[in-house]
Structure 1
Amino acid sequence: MTSTHGATPSETALPKLTPGPYRKRLGLISIVACFGGLLFGYDTGVINGALRPMAAEIGLDAFTEGVVTSSLVFAAAVGALFGGRISDAIGRRRTIIILAVLFFLGTVVVVASPGFALLVAGRVMLGLAVGGASTVVPVYLAELAPFEIRGSITGRNEVAIVTGQLSAFVINAILGNTLGHLDGVWRIMFAVCAIPAICLFFGMLRMPESPRWLVEKGRHADALAVLKTVRSEERAIAELGEVEQVAKEEQREAKVGLAAVLTNKWLIRILLIGVGVSMMQQLTGINSIMYYGQVVLIESGFEESAALIANIAPGVVAVIGGFIALYMMDRVDRRKTFAIGLTLTTTCHLLIGAASLALPVGNPARPFVILILVVAFVASMQTFLNVAVWVYLAEIFPLHMRGLGIGVSVFFGWMTNGFLALYFPSLIAGMGISGVFFLFAGIGAVALLFTITQVPETRGVTLEKLEVGVTTGAIHVVRRRR
C-alpha cells in the first residue's frame, strides 16, 4: 500500500507542471469563480451591522431578528443540498451562472422590502444562492486544478468568503457611523452586493466547464479542449486518460450517485465523515461570531458604535489567516491542519469563558481582553480550519457522487449553522458569554477526537487516485498503517 504523500505510481505517470500561459488562465478562472465566495461572505456578514438599524425601522423583536438572520442560513442548507445535484445534472458553470442571477434578485427583494415578510423572502433567495455557491464553486475549482496545487486553488474560495465578510464589516462601519441617522442605511449595506453578483454573471459566461464533469457526460473532446487551456498539452492528454479510465470503471459498475452510495459501505462511511467535518466546522461557533460579533462585543462592554468598529478586527485577521492557510494547504496534511485548528480554537473558547468569569461587567479591561481572544479564535479558525474544510469536502468524494456528497455534507453544516444563528442570542442571554464558550470548548474536544480517529488524508493525491481509495476503503487502511 502506498503512502498518501508525495508521488504514487498514478501521479508519476503525469508530466510535471511547467510554467506557461495556462497557469494565468487557471488563475483568472479562480478569480471569476471566487466572486461566488465573495457574495457568500458579504451576504452572511452584512447582517452583523445591518440588523440593529433594520430592526429599528421595521420593528423586529428578538425572535424576528433571529428569523431574519437564520432564514438565510436554513435556506442555504437547502441550496447546498440541491445545488450539488443540479450541478451534477446541468454542469458546474451553468449552475454558478444561475446562482449569480439568484444573488442579484435576492438583493433587489431585500433592498426594496417594506416589511418583515418580504425581507425574509429576499433573505431566503440569498440563502439559496449562498448554499449553492458553497457547494458548487469549490467543486468547480477542485475539478479544474492540478492535484499538486489543488489545495491552494480550491482554498481561494474561502479567502474570498472572508474577504466578503470583511468588506461587509468595513462597509457597515463606514455607513453606520456616517449615515446611521438615516432610516434606510441598512438597505444601502445590502445593495452593495449587487455589484459582485453582476461581475460573477458576466465573468462566468466566458469561463469553461469542468473537464471532469464533461467526461462524465461523455464529452471527451470538449474535456480535452478545456484541459489544454489550463495544462500543457502533454499533461492535458495524460490527465484526460486518467479521468476516462475511472469513468469507464464507474460505468461498468452501472451505479452512480445515491444508488452507488447506499450499496457500498465505504461510500456511506466517507459521506458520514464529510457530514462530520462540515458540522465540526460550524460547531466551533465561528459563524455566530460573524453574524453576532457586534452583540458579543456589546455584551463584553463596548459601546454600540465602538463595537461596530471593533468588529472589523476579526474580519481582518480572517483574511490574513486565509492567505496563510493557502500557503500551507499544499504543504501540510489536512488532518494535521484540522487537529492544530481544533486545539487552538478550543483553547480560545476556554480562555474567553474564563476571562468573562474573571473580569466582571464594568471592568475596563473586560471588553479589550475578550476582543483579543475573539480575534485569536477567528485567526486560529481561519488559518487552520475554514480553508482546509472547504478544500477537503471538494476533493474527498468520487466524481459520480461529488455533487451529492458535498451537497449532503454542507446541508448538515448549514443546518447546524442555522440553529446556532437562531438560538445564539438566547444562549448568550441565558448562559452568558462564559457558558456559551465553555459549551463550544466541550464540542471542540469531541471534534478533535473525531478528526484523529476517523478523518483520512487527501493531500498530494489526484482526484482519481482518491476516488479508488475511497471506493475500496483503501484510504482508511493507508491511514492506519501510517
Structure 2
Amino acid sequence: MSTRTPRRNSLPAEHSGPHSRRLGMVAFVATFGGLLFGYDTGVINGALAPMKVDLGLTPVTEGFVVSILIFGAALGAAVGGKFADRYGRRHNILVLAGVFVISTLGCALTPTWQVLAVFRFVLGLAVGGASATVPVYLAEVAPAERRGSLVTRNEIMIVSGQFAAFVINAVIFNVWGEHSSVWRYMLVIATLPAIALLVGMLRMPESPRWLSSRGRDAAALAVLKQVRSPERAEAEMAEVRALAEEERRSKTGGWSALAVPWIRRLVVIGAVLGIFQQFTGINSIMYYGTQMLQTAGFSSSGAIIANTANGLFSVLGITVGIMLINKINRRTMLISGFALITLFHILVGASAMFLPDIAAKPYIILFFVVAFVFSMQGTLGPLVWLLLSEMFPLRVRSFAVGLCVLMLWLGNAGVTFGFPPTVDALGLAPTFFIFAAIGVLGILFTAGMVPETRGRTLEEFESDMQARYSKAT
C-alpha cells in the first residue's frame, strides 16, 4: 500500500512576511531565463536585414540561420529536463545562464554565417533548457495558492523579452542604422539579462522538492523556511517527505516511468497540449507578423509600425491572464481560450477573403489579429506552461516537462517552416481557417482529456492521479 500524502486543507494558510519577499525575489531572478527566451527568439526579426548584407546570406543560408535556434531549443528542452532531474533545478539554470552569455557573445562577434549558425544552435540549447527548467523550479518553490501566478510570470517575461527585442531593434537601427554591423549591437544586448541571471541564481536556493528527492530533507526544510512561514514550512515538508519516500520505493524514473500507465497518459496530454499551443499559430505572428501584415495590405513601413501592436497586446494579454489564472479553473480557461482563438482565426480569414479592398481592410485584419494574440497570451500561453509544471510526479517532473517541451518546440518548428509556404500556396484566409479547425480540435481534446490541477498541491494531484488511473487499469 502506498503512503498517501496529507491533503492541502490540512496546511496552515499562507500569509505575507519576509518569506513572501524572498519568494518574490526567487521568482524575479529565475524568470530572467524567460526574458532571455523571449529576447533571443524575437531579436532575429529586426537583426536579419542588416545581417544578410553584412554576412552575405542567401535565402537558403538565411533560413538555416533563423531556424537552427529552434532545433537547438528542441534538443535543449529534452536534455535540459534530464539534467535538471539529475543535478538540480538551480544548478541547471546556473549552467544555462553561462551558456547564454557565451553563445550570445559568439553570435555577436561571429566572422561568418557558419560560425553564427553554430552559436545560434548553442543558444537554442540554452533557450530550450530554460523553457523546460524554469517553470519546474518556480512550481516547486511556490506554495499551491500562488503557484499559478508565479509560474506564469515566466511567460510574462518571455513575451516582454520579445516586445523588448522589437523596441530595442527599432531604437538601435534608427541610431546606428548606417553601420553594417548594427545587428551585432542588437544581439549583444542579451548578455545583460544573461549576466543578471547568472549572478542572481548564485544567491537563490535549490528546489526543496528536488532536495528531498535526494534525501536532503534538512536542506529542503531550510529552503522552505526561506519562502514560507515557519509553521507552513513544517507542515508542507511532511507532504514532500512522504511523497519522496513513496517515490524512492517505486524506483521508476526517466524513460522507465513511461511504462506506468497514468504517467504515460499525463506525458501524452502534456505533449499534445504543447503542440496545440504552437498550432494556434502564435509564432507565425511573432516571427512573420510584419510580412503577414504586408500581405493583408499594409505598406512596408506601415507593417513594421503596426506589428508593434502584436508585441504590446501580447504583454497585456499575459498580464490579464495572470490576474485570472488563480481565480478560474485551468480547464475552463483553456476551453475558453481555444474558443476565443478559433473565433478570431475565423474573423481574420473571413476579413481577408470577403472584405473588398478598401482602405480600412488592413486595419480590420490587424484588429482581429491583435485580438487573437491578446486571447492566446491571456489563456493558452501561460496555462500550458503552468500545466506542464504541475502535472508530473517529482521523480520524472523535469524529464517529462523536457519531453513535452521538445514536442512543443517541434510544433514551433513546424509552424515556423510551414506558415510562409502555406500562405504563399493557399493565401492568408485559408491558412487562418486551418488554424481555426485546429482550435476546434483543441477544445475537444481539453474537454475529454486534460485534468484539473488548480487548488491542489503537486503532491496531492499526483496522489489523486495515481489512485484514479491505477483503478482504471
TM-score by length of 2: 0.95
Q: CA deviation at 1:64?
A: 2.9
For 1:93, the equivalent position in structure 2 comes to 90
Q: How far apart, in 2, do the equivalents of 1:24 and 1:81 lie?
A: 32
Aligned residues: 468
For 1:134, the equivalent position in structure 2 comes to 131
The 1:368/1:136 distance shift into structure 2, 3 A limit, reads same
SS in 2 for 1:473: helix
* Amino acid aligned to 2:237: L
Q: How far apart, in 2, do the equivalents of 1:59 and 1:373 lie?
A: 37
1:239 to 215, 229, 236: 236
For 2:50, the equivalent position in structure 1 comes to 53
The answer as to 2:453 corresponding to 1:458 is: yes
Q: CA deviation at 1:9?
A: 6.5
2:408 to 413, 431, 446: 413
For 2:391, the equivalent position in structure 1 comes to 396
For 2:276, the equivalent position in structure 1 comes to 280
Q: How far apart, in 2, do the equivalents of 1:176 and 1:309 lie?
A: 14
Percent identical across equivalent pairs?
Answer: 48
- Listed as ranges, the matches of 1:234-383 within 5 Å are 234-262=231-259, 264-359=260-355, 363-383=358-378
For 1:435, the equivalent position in structure 2 comes to 430
The answer as to 2:170 corresponding to 1:162 is: no
Q: How far apart, in 2, do the equivalents of 1:48 and 1:377 lie?
A: 21
- Listed as ranges, the matches of 1:45-194 within 5 Å are 45-194=42-191
Q: How far apart, in 2, do the equivalents of 1:338 and 1:317 lie?
A: 19
Q: Residue by residue, what CA displacement relative to the aligned partner does 1:125-169 show, whole Å, maximum 9, x if unpaired?
A: 111111000010000000000001110011100001011011011
Q: Residue by residue, what CA displacement relative to the aligned partner does 1:313-360 show, whole Å, maximum 9, x if unpaired?
A: 111111111111111111111111111111111111111111111246
Q: CA deviation at 1:372?
A: 1.3
Q: CA deviation at 1:416?
A: 1.1
Q: CA deviation at 1:95?
A: 0.5
* Amino acid aligned to 1:10: R
Q: How far apart, in 2, do the equivalents of 1:89 and 1:138 lie?
A: 17
* Amino acid aligned to 1:442: A
2:36 to 15, 34, 39: 39
TM-score by length of 1: 0.94
Q: CA deviation at 1:424?
A: 2.2
Q: CA deviation at 1:469?
A: 1.9
The answer (yes or no) to whether the contact 2:257–2:264 under 8 Å persists in 1 is no
Q: How far apart, in 1, do the equivalents of 2:466 and 2:68 lie?
A: 36
Q: How far apart, in 2, do the equivalents of 1:475 and 1:118 lie?
A: 51
Q: How far apart, in 1, do the equivalents of 2:65 and 2:420 lie?
A: 13
The answer as to 2:441 corresponding to 1:446 is: yes
The 1:20/1:323 distance shift into structure 2, 3 A limit, reads same
Q: How far apart, in 1, do the equivalents of 2:59 and 2:190 lie?
A: 26
Q: CA deviation at 1:371?
A: 1.5
The answer as to 2:14 corresponding to 1:17 is: yes
The answer (yes or no) to whether the contact 1:212–1:223 under 8 Å persists in 2 is yes
Q: How far apart, in 1, do the equivalents of 2:155 and 2:447 lie?
A: 23
The answer (yes or no) to whether the contact 2:6–2:239 under 8 Å persists in 1 is no
The answer (yes or no) to whether the contact 2:261–2:469 under 8 Å persists in 1 is no
Deviates more, 1:199-208 or 1:119-128: 119-128
The answer (yes or no) to whether the contact 2:90–2:207 under 8 Å persists in 1 is yes
Q: How far apart, in 2, do the equivalents of 1:181 and 1:426 lie?
A: 32
The answer (yes or no) to whether the contact 1:321–1:379 under 8 Å persists in 2 is yes
Q: CA deviation at 1:56?
A: 3.3
For 2:462, the equivalent position in structure 1 comes to 467
* Amino acid aligned to 2:108: V
The answer (yes or no) to whether the contact 1:398–1:470 under 8 Å persists in 2 is no
The answer (yes or no) to whether the contact 1:173–1:308 under 8 Å persists in 2 is no
Q: How far apart, in 1, do the equivalents of 2:404 and 2:465 lie?
A: 16
Aligned-residue Cα RMSD (Å) equals 1.7
Q: Residue by residue, what CA displacement relative to the aligned partner does 1:281-331 show, whole Å, maximum 9, x if unpaired?
A: 001010121111111122222233332222211111111111111111111
| Structure 1 residue runs without a partner (length 5+) | 1-7, 478-482
Q: How far apart, in 1, do the equivalents of 2:430 and 2:114 lie?
A: 34
Q: How far apart, in 2, do the equivalents of 1:114 and 1:297 lie?
A: 33
